[in-house]
Every structure is written in C-alpha cells, then in structure tokens.
Amino acid sequence: MLYLDRPAWPWRGRLWSHLISDVSYAELHAFAEALGAPRRGFDRDHYDIPADRFAAAVWLGAQVVPSRELVRLLRAADLRRPKHLVNGRSLVPR
C-alpha cells in the first residue's frame, strides 16, 4: 500500500508531502514513476512530492495519513532508513 502525508513541508518556496510504501521500494518507485515524480525526489525511504501532485497521488490510490503514521508504517515494514544509518551510501532497493 502507498501512503502520503498532507503537503506541509516548506522547501524552495513550495509545500511538499512524503510518499512511502509499506511493501517495498520497488512498489514505491513504480508508483512514483506513474505519478511523474523524478527519481531524484527519492530520499532514503520516501519520495518528496510537491503539493501540486498531491491530488494525483490520492487519485492513483495513495492513502493520506498523518506524518507520524508514515514513520510508524515504515518501521513496521522494516523499510525505515534514517539518515544516521545511511552514511552517504546508496541504498539497495528491497
């Protein structure tokens, strides 16, 4: 399943959402591609999605949840990749 939070994260003059999968990174990448999100929007365990793509993500099937729920879902699926564990290295997709 795919989830995202509401666009509330400001960066570069825009608001952003976080998009995650609780199944796999492959599912997440496939959904992001269908949404038209560039691969550079992937950050360790989620995609940063601009507010203007929020409605499309919901229309494509992503469920809207609070930000804290995203973290809980990632941890429960063992897909959470905090910055301190990455150390600047590429992650191997699951």
Question: Does residue 54 belong to any structural domain of this protein?
Answer: yes
Question: Does residue 91 belong to any structural domain of this protein?
Answer: no
Question: Does residue 51 belong to any structural domain of this protein?
Answer: yes
- Residue ranges making up the domain that contains 70: 2-86
Q: Where are the alpha helices (DSSP H) in 1-80?
A: 25-35, 54-59, 67-76
- The structure tokens 């793509």 sit at 53
- Rounded to two decimals, the pTM is 0.84
Nearest to 21 by CA among 73, 61, 68, 56: 73
Q: pLDDT band at residue 51, thresholds of 50, 70 and 90? A: very high
In this prediction, residue 73 carries a pLDDT of: 97
- Sorted by sequence, the CB contacts under 8 Å of residue 15 that are 6+ apart come out as 7, 8, 9, 50, 51
In this prediction, residue 85 carries a pLDDT of: 59
Check if the beta carbon of residue 93 is closer than 8 Å to that of residue 39: no
Question: Does residue 94 belong to any structural domain of this protein?
Answer: no
Domain count, the chain: 1
